[in-house]
Amino acid sequence: MTDAGGTKERVRVVETVTLSDDWYVLRKVIFDFRRRDGTWQRQSRETYDRGNGATILLHNPRTGTVLLTRQFRMPAFVNGHDGMLIEAPGGLLDDATPDARIRAEVEEETGYRVGHIEKIFEAFMSPGSVTEKLYFYVGEYDGAMRVGDGGGVIDEGEEIEVIEPPLDEAMAMIDRGEIMDGKTIMLLQHLALRQAATRS
């Protein structure tokens, strides 16, 4: 993690206004920023705070498949997509640790109870406007780990379909524009690169 100490000396928050506090919190922050030439510039930005999250790509070494989900996403729908996004399982931390939360999310969404998982990196997904940081994981799965039907939480409006394409097919789905979710693309590319390095 980078040291923010120097940056804090360059930022003076003047005012923070809550614009919306419904699903998550949208704030307008007015601040002064000291530029490299020493001058201070007044700026205004909106930040959308939905908390941090975690996501995981599970793969089956025996079959070569990966475990993905398909569900409706309204923001994608209003931006011209049909809204049915293919994604790696994931969700918000909701005050849990990333490890604990991703295990619970996988079981809720897919019905699989995972064993060993590996954290591979952390990333801000849309730092120009969204505060969320994601914790990325990979792990293995097989049929014996399935303990339920998955599908998500009905009371939260979730209706999640589980799909298991081979990794090569999932990579082709990126090329064809069938997988457009950023976190999922990052995880699939990570796994493909890791497997390529192992084979070489």
Residues 59 and 45 occupy one common structural domain: no
- Tell me the whole-structure pTM to 2 decimals: 0.91
Decide: 48 and 24 in contact? Cβ < 8 Å. Answer: yes
| Whether 36 and 62 share a structural domain | no
Same domain, 100 and 176: yes
* Mean local confidence (pLDDT), 143-159: 84
**pLDDT mean over 142-147:** 92
184 close to 86: Cβ distance less than 8 angstroms: yes
3-state secondary structure at position 67: strand
CATH classification at residue 69: 3.90.79.10
Number of folded domains that form the chain? 2
- Strand order across the 25-34 sheet: 11-21, 25-34, 40-49
Domain that holds residue 185: 53-199
Cα torsion 24, 81, 190, 158: sign: positive
Tokens 């205004």: give the residue. 44
pLDDT band at 7 (very low <50, low <70, confident <90, very high): confident
Please, what is the average pLDDT of the chain? 93
Which sign does the torsion angle of CA 171, 176, 181, 186 carry?
positive
What pLDDT score does 73 carry?
94
Average pLDDT over residues 138-144: 95
- Residue range 37-59, pLDDT digits in tens: 999 999 999 999 999 999 999 99
pLDDT at 200: 72
